[in-house]
Amino acid sequence: MATQIDPAERLLNLLIALVNTHGRMTKEQVRTSVAGYADAPSDEAFERMFERDKDTLRELGIPLVTVTNAGHGDDFGYRVDLDAYALPAIDLTSAELGVLTLAAQTWQDRTMRGDTARALTKLRAVGQAPGASELVTGLAPRVRSGGTVFAPLLDAAQARQVVRITYRAANTGEVRQRRVEPWQLIARRGGWVLIGWDQDRAAPRSFRLSRIEGSVRTLGEPGAFPPPAPEQVERAMAAWRDGPSRIATLALLPERAEATRVRAVEAPPDARDWASDPVAGPLVAGRDVVHVVYRSEWELAEELVGYGDAVLVLDPPEVRDHVLALLTQAVALAPDDERGERRG
């Protein structure tokens, strides 16, 4: 028995056929030549299938037109209006293509990597400078995957559906369940953050996705809460990002951790001379000592841990402890054979 073609694949087959047809395609030609329509068990089923697919293409904004035979007014055919469907010529400067390259490099999640790579290849083909991406080489921050909780939280935010999550607090390490009205998911310092209304605390809160344990559970029906007003979201984000700023001191390997390196600030007046320190001196030899501003110890630690041995946290010890804790967790989660390889 032949494998039945998925409706989405059948729709794509129809679009490809209508884009590439010379003149038009009749319904009979669609049924006999487009993969997926032969699955229809009857003429009536084919008619319903074809009409539904035509409506879907038009809902997607594809300019599907009906063409009649000049000699037979009731002989209908179909095609895609290529003049309306084709994109206009794209004229990108080197700087514009560089920025797009930077954005594409930011998305490292495996579900998006293939799409961004294909899109970037096409953009480079029309860009004015083949080496435009070199303008931003090494500057792209890596936004790590939100894990298994990203998709359900995104769906819940779009559906305005309350969720229950198990969350590990950054400061105390306390783990407890929280009921949240999800508002937005935003990328921040190499990871994802959920902004929403915490029903248990009756206040807006932010939740780092990397601290959500287990799965996301939806509560109630979609549309359970109204969309947040822009000022609500802005206040929530301001409360999250406007904490007291502090300075961390890092030792970076040359030409590594560029996204962190470009945030470097001038050394404070009381900066320590790490090179002459009897303990730290040998560790910073051959490295660049830089100072970066941060507000959350956990947030900075989660950003730095992705660079591995390219970054040493010299100060403050709280950030260094958080980095070590994250590395310890990663080792504990790794398969036994991988841990054995590390020890060897």
Does residue 342 form part of some domain? no
Buried b (16+ CB within 10 A) or exposed e, 275-310: eeeeebeeebeebebbbbebebbbbbbbbbbbbeeb
Q: Which amino acid type is present at position 61? A: G
Please check whether residue 56 lies inside any domain of the structure. yes
Rounded Cα gap, residues 24 and 19, in angstroms: 9
Q: Residue 292's closest CA among 271, 275, 321?
A: 271
Q: For 242, left (φ over 0), alpha (ψ -120 to 50), or beta?
A: alpha
Token pair for 239: 């409360």
Q: Are residues 236 and 257 in the same domain?
A: no
Look at residues 224, 241, 258 and tell me which one is the last residue of a structural domain.
Answer: 241
CATH number, domain of 56, equals: 1.10.10.10
Cα 173 from Cα 62, distance rounded (Å): 51
Tally of structural domains, the chain: 4
Contact between 62 and 80 under an 8 Å Cβ cutoff? The reply is yes
The pLDDT value given to residue 134: 42
pLDDT 10s digit of each residue in the chain, 344 long?
456 777 888 888 898 888 888 788 898 999 988 888 988 889 999 999 999 999 898 888 888 988 886 555 567 889 988 877 766 666 666 556 555 555 555 555 544 555 555 555 555 554 444 444 444 444 444 545 567 888 899 889 989 999 999 998 766 667 899 999 999 888 765 568 888 999 988 888 888 888 888 999 999 999 999 988 888 887 777 665 656 778 999 999 988 887 788 888 998 888 888 888 888 888 889 999 999 988 777 778 878 887 888 999 999 998 898 888 878 876 665 555 544 444 43
Q: Using an 8 Å Cβ cutoff, are 292 and 250 in contact?
A: yes
Asked whether residue 340 is domain-assigned, the answer is: no
Task: List the beta bridge partners of residue 1.
Answer: none
Tokens 């950054």, located at residue: 170
For residues 212 and 30, give the distance between their C-alpha atoms in angstroms, rounded to a whole number: 49
Q: Using the 3D structure, point to which of 213, 241, 269 is the last residue of a domain.
A: 241
Q: Which residue has the tokens 């008619």?
A: 47
Instruction: Note whether residue 293 is domain-resident.
Output: yes
Q: Token pair for residue 179?
A: 């009921």
Question: Do 180 and 160 belong together in one domain?
Answer: yes
15 and 29 both lie in a single domain = yes
In a shared domain, residues 107 and 167: no
Domain presence at residue 79: yes
Angle at 321 between CA 298 and CA 341, to 5 degrees: 105
> Which range marks the domain in which residue 261 is found?
246-333
The answer to the question of residue 208 being in a domain is: yes
Cis peptide before 316 (omega within 30 of 0): yes
Q: Would you say residue 212 lies in a domain?
A: yes
The CATH number of whichever domain residue 206 belongs to comes to 2.30.30.520
Q: Which of 241, 266, 298 is the last residue of a domain?
A: 241
pLDDT given at position 135? 42
Same domain, residue pair 237 and 251:
no
Query: What pLDDT was estimated at residue 257?
Result: 82
- Same domain flag for 213 and 181: yes
Instruction: Kindly report the length of the chain.
Output: 344
Residue 266 lies in a domain: yes
